[in-house]
Structure formats: structure tokens, C-alpha cells
Amino acid sequence: MTLFRGRAAPENQVHDFHPPISRSGLYWVVDAPRTDLTVTPDGRSAMLRLTQVEVIDQPGWPKPDADAQPARMEINIRWTATDEPVEIDDPAKQFRFRGWKAKSELEARVEVPSIGFTWKSDPIETSHANFAIIGEEANGKYYSS
């Protein structure tokens, strides 16, 4: 998550929160306990609640030598299906998705204890994304299953 002062432009970037690169080399990925994601039995809505996620604040990112401060992040994301189905099947890319267009809402909070910085978004009820999808995906070796 990147925070800007004023217009969203590189020169206005004041914070950039992201997980550090893992030992395996994965980037922008965090482990989440299964209990953090709840999906309704019909698969048409889901809620992800991540709390106390250890991230770094690297305001100078993407500069390779940018300073980084330990930080914490909390995120709540809610997806709710519309009645518009979505189906993508691309055998050449071994990718399939079946589901629905969805409404997505998010709220977040970040904290950089070393500098006493805290930021909180507006409540989830006031948030919305113009595009999201929810459903089931298969790719790679799972494509033919």
C-alpha cells in the first residue's frame, strides 16, 4: 500500500508498505491462517481479515537501496458477487476462472512504531472498487483437473 501527499505521483510518495522479500524469493506475499479468510457456503461472498501483519515501510521504493522501517498492517477486504457471471477458459495459457463480477470493499490501518506514524483508511462501508471477481480458478498442472 502506498500513501501519497497530494496527487498519486512518484514525487508525492511518502510511505510504501509491503512485506519484505521472503527467504524463498516471493515478494508481496504473506502467510495468512485459514481462519483469516471466510467464504460463504455458496462461494458468492468472502471476507479476509489480516491483523498485525509484519511489513516494512520503504518510502523510497523502488530504489534498490531505499531505507526501510519495520511496520505493521491490518487489512479487511470484503467481496460480494453480483448476478453477472464471468467465465474465462484459455487452454493455451492453462488458465480457467468461473465465478461472478463482484463488489469489493477494503479498509486498512498501518503503523510505523519507530517514527510514531499511524494511518487509517475510511471505514469499509465507504469503500468500493469498480471491478472485482470472485469464484474458482485453476491453472498450470491443476488446469486439467
pLDDT tens for each residue of the chain, 145 residues long: 889 999 999 889 899 999 988 888 888 888 889 999 999 999 999 999 999 999 999 988 777 788 999 999 999 999 999 999 999 999 999 999 999 999 999 999 999 999 999 999 999 999 988 789 999 999 998 998 6
Q: What is the pTM (predicted TM-score) of this model?
A: 0.82
The whole domain housing 77 covers: 2-142
Q: How many domains does the chain have?
A: 1
Q: Judge whether 46 and 66 are in contact, CB under 8 Å.
A: no
Identify residue 40 by its one-letter amino acid code.
T
- Looking at residue 29, what is its pLDDT? 87
- Looking at residue 62, what is its pLDDT? 77
Of the candidates 119, 42, 127, the residue with the CA atom closest to the CA atom of residue 76: 127
- Looking at residue 115, what is its pLDDT? 95
Question: Do strands 132-139 and 45-57 pair parallel, antiparallel, or not at all (unpaired)?
Answer: unpaired
- Looking at residue 27, what is its pLDDT? 81
**Nearest-angstrom CA–CA distance, 19 and 115:** 18
Backbone angles phi, psi at 42, to 5 degrees: -85, -5
The phi-psi region of residue 121 (left if phi > 0; otherwise alpha if psi is between -120 and 50; otherwise beta) is beta
Dihedral of the alpha carbons of 46, 48, 49, 52, in degrees to the nearest 10 = 170
